[in-house]
């Protein structure tokens, strides 16, 4: 009877070993299938990523060019603004100076006109 139990256990161990090997084979096959599929998806994604990068680069290039042009234009405008501001300051200084001179000359003209009128007075009855 002990021998029968040993034989039965040995037979069951053999069956269990066969089942384990079968399951192991199935798992390995599935792993291989999954690895192949992962490589396919990986390759597909790499291609898609490269295509998207090229699309993005193509779409960004005009924006970058426009941005550079705008930056250049802004730099030129800033320079022109600085030049205009400096020129305006100089002109304002000159205007103030000329306005002062005009005021002095206007006063001198009034004074001279007044003096001239006094010299042109005629007194009736007096000979010149």
What is the per-residue pLDDT for 118? 67
What is the per-residue pLDDT for 2? 78
CA distance 82 to 75: 11
Asked if residue 56 has pLDDT above 80, the reply is yes
Q: Which of 17-21, 71-75, 84-88 has the lowest mean pLDDT?
A: 17-21
Q: For the segment 115-127, what is each residue's pLDDT rounded down to a tens digit?
A: 777 666 666 766 6
pTM of the shown model: 0.49
What is the per-residue pLDDT for 46? 95
């Amino acid at each position: 009877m002990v021998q029968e139990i040993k034989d039965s256990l040995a037979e069951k161990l053999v069956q269990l070993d066969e089942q384990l090997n079968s399951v192991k084979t199935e798992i390995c096959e599935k792993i291989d299938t999954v690895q192949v599929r992962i490589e396919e998806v990986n390759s597909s994604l790499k291609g898609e990523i490269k295509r998207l990068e090229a699309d993005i680069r193509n779409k960004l290039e005009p924006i970058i060019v426009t941005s550079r042009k705008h930056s250049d234009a802004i730099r030129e405008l800033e320079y022109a603004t600085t030049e205009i501001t400096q020129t305006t300051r100089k002109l304002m200084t000159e205007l103030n100076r000329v306005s002062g001179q005009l005021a002095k000359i206007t006063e001198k003209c009034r004074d001279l006109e007044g003096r001239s009128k006094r010299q042109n007075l005629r007194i009736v009855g007096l000979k010149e």
